[in-house]
Structure 1
């Protein structure tokens, strides 16, 4: 079912059911985390309430849309020694909620800036398809809007890891270090698979269904994580159910189908880099990721017993691993 950039016609109910049935198994193993010109200047910053009494989102206009940002200062009493600014960007088909366990701990010492990608979470839609470099430019615009001019540490999962890699390549003086979690730095030489295309199509037409969200969850999380359930998994499913399908599909297509490979350029990332992969990630083979990460000049590769979203499957392990990595920078 080839896709193009034009808006797809609404399928008939019978065809929609047939496609959903046909793609059910594909989506279980294919949901993955990965245009305009240069980034436009930030146009405005608008504050809006965040749920649960958290710090408010700031909606900052960038070339990839109005992105929701939370700027979380270190908690009161945090030591100034070794303080860094972390910039978090999540996976496709997820929002900042995947960092639910990490944010409170990292804030004990560091400033944490959290960004929802276009078409995800509280962010608005992208105006058009985009590249990972466009997202990196958007990150720079957000930092400028927040008055952050010193070097930062991008911490990205999947899509977010790709954005962080592009940021480190394009803005080395603004990058202190880099954390790439579960990041698909390569692309298939034969091009996107049928199952990849189904993931994008499903993001448009099936995102509100249990079929689709359960399929994404099977691809993203360990069986034990799904069995555990809880507020974080509930929020993950709710995010997909409540998403704007057109905006979600555009972003998913840009990341999953249209992205350029990052692996051939990893050798150009000069900052210390922590590269984390999941031993049970069925979408991206551990050996291929290990081989790609070996080209990082100052890289450290760590495999965790997780699926695709290590921050959720192994929340304490990821929290400690990243904190310890940051401590080595002091």
Structure 2
């Protein structure tokens, strides 16, 4: 989905505690029913809302989707300084206030977005219908040298093919990089096109200064789907499976992907989300701690 898509997607710039955030609203679907949800999607660091194109195409027929570009990414403005994931959760809440959405929402996030989703569920439980955490590094960083380089490179190397290709290699499976040539070109253009200073500030906040979430997952009351990639070289799937077992109403799914499952395995990821949304109508399905798919 792009801002120019002629499918009644409303694009707004909403002022929050972080910055002016670009927000894309698909609106209430024509097929809205009692089972319809409001889905709020926050993407990964170094990416914008377009990583969810496949999910938008399938889910918008039955649900209202709100997509948010993080500060310093996409069409969103830069943050004035470094920020916490809790501040991102507050910004998400402010977006909902501006859009006058009062019903509890399903927060879906990839990597950075998953951290925001978890923090939102902890700080705003009354506004949280459910959580979907995709490829989310819930532990405080264990690779400071690597993440420091990614942050520094976002400021000084983002125009180089080597830096952008290095990010792509870490994020996507080789077959994805070959198959999704148009998407990959847009992905590279996004990194090169945004402000280096703003991008680096956001990357540092997310990769280096994020709070540990793993030790607090058991405090998330909402039903939670946790998806991890078998081939994610940055965040080992076994570590994420162990962390997800702490969720009191959780379900863990492993997909044969690298770090961005929504792009590597779009159909499988969408199916997992859709099944999860269906099961929300039967919340007893999530009564067992660390339930597995």
Shorter-chain TM-score range: over 0.9
Pairing 1:1-330 to 2, within 5 Å after superposition: 50-53=3-6, 55-76=9-30, 78-188=31-141, 192-330=143-281
Partners of 1:241 and 1:188 in 2: CA distance: 25
After TM superposition, give the deviation of residue 75 of structure 1 in Å: 3.4
Larger radius of gyration: 1
Partners of 1:52 and 1:308 in 2: CA distance: 27
Contact 2:172 2:260 in 1 (8 A): yes
Contact 2:132 2:225 in 1 (8 A): yes
Q: Which has the higher contact order (CA 8 A, sep 6+)?
A: 1
TM-score, normalisation: structure 1: 0.82
Aligned to 1:25: none
After TM superposition, give the deviation of residue 52 of structure 1 in Å: 4.0
SS in 1 for 2:33: coil
SS in 2 for 1:139: helix
SS in 2 for 1:281: coil
> Where does structure 2 lack aligned partners over 5 or more consecutive residues?
282-293
After superposition, give the CA deviation of every residue in 1:252-276 in whole Å (9 maximum; x if it has no partner): 0000011111000000001110000
After TM superposition, give the deviation of residue 72 of structure 1 in Å: 1.0
Partners of 2:237 and 2:271 in 1: CA distance: 21
SS in 2 for 1:275: strand
After superposition, give the CA deviation of every residue in 1:91-125 in whole Å (9 maximum; x if it has no partner): 00000010011102110100000000000001000
Partners of 1:266 and 1:109 in 2: CA distance: 29
After superposition, give the CA deviation of every residue in 1:200-246 in whole Å (9 maximum; x if it has no partner): 01100111221111110000000110111332222111101111100
Contact 1:207 1:243 in 2 (8 A): no
Of stretches 297-306 and 204-213 in structure 1, the one that deviates more from structure 2 is: 204-213
Partners of 1:209 and 1:75 in 2: CA distance: 42
Contact 2:223 2:250 in 1 (8 A): yes
Contact 1:205 1:245 in 2 (8 A): yes
Partners of 1:320 and 1:150 in 2: CA distance: 24
Number of matched residues? 279
After TM superposition, give the deviation of residue 304 of structure 1 in Å: 0.2
Contact 1:273 1:298 in 2 (8 A): yes
Partners of 1:218 and 1:228 in 2: CA distance: 14
Aligned to 1:20: none
